[in-house]
Structure 1
């Protein structure tokens, strides 16, 4: 089902605001805070249309809307389609370039990449070198600040997903130097409220690595995609 230009803009704004604020987004909020050039009634009708098309859901009768997996997928596809990626290369180089130049210490490289990505993404970050069987993850202190982790069941689901991810990491299909995004039900390892951004890249001396960011389904997709994309470019320049 195709969306009108106005519906697409409203859907993107709902995604952006929900990612930022973690509460359902209402027509009144969109009108007052996002300056949409139409009435609250028109926005409300468009939200209803987006809900009927399964891009949004309505968790409570009196609340606003939140994106579904389909809504997030539309949002993420638009990020790739527009191709306007923020460049984090300067920030990443400042944090990790000295470690990347010393490829003899893979453990230290894994640790530094994971630490830096977790700090900049506020999510859990993993770096995996299959040949050396080194997997390093960082960022628990960052990701648990997200409101989803106030729910003990969500904690348990996240840990199960992480465990399945680590066990099946080599079975994942990806194209080298391409950023892959799994949203909620798209995850091959757990059909939960979790999103994963992942890539496979090669360091000099043919050292392959997998790099991933895991977090709540409403993670900041644009920032995290740009972080991983910038890291790929830095590693490419080492070769």
Structure 2
């Protein structure tokens, strides 16, 4: 208990940095995934070419290397020095966004073609088709994978100490070096990472449940305990309410 009383404030500060990196990286990754994923389903070859270059580039380069490039190489090339936290968010967002773009593209392509053709017959504009029919169904389908990507992004933040950011992992290493308590130092970090992951998972389950309810795929009730397991997805499809 004495160890926790002395070191907990430092762990909380490190966990706060980890949470900022996770939220910032996830927000950037989501925007990139949606934009690039939608562009990847269009009939314009140049849009598909741009998305292919982005996806294959950042899926093929480690996020840590991209982070090093932004922190150490970018200032040499441009003369502008990026804040390490901003550089880490940028690197993580670009990397995870590339994976997310493929999730979005696949989810959009999985929407039954007959429904898209029906919207054309009803004289829906492209924006109406995407907003009312395509994205609501694709959104429900892509959310579980998005949840996994956010958790992976959160875990990937553990390497940011290599560019001088004092995150949760960095705090654990510093405390271990100062106290010699290896088990306790990393044990507390273990628990905090787990708790952060559970909060993120719970939030994604809420989004999944709401998305499926809007499509008539999940019961309105069920309570909080139902969020501890993946929602049951039926076969009913429809336009978002």
On whether the aligned pair clears a TM of 0.5, the verdict is no
Q: Which of the two has greater helix per residue?
A: 2
Q: What TM-score comes out, normalization by structure 1 length?
A: 0.25
The higher radius of gyration belongs to 2
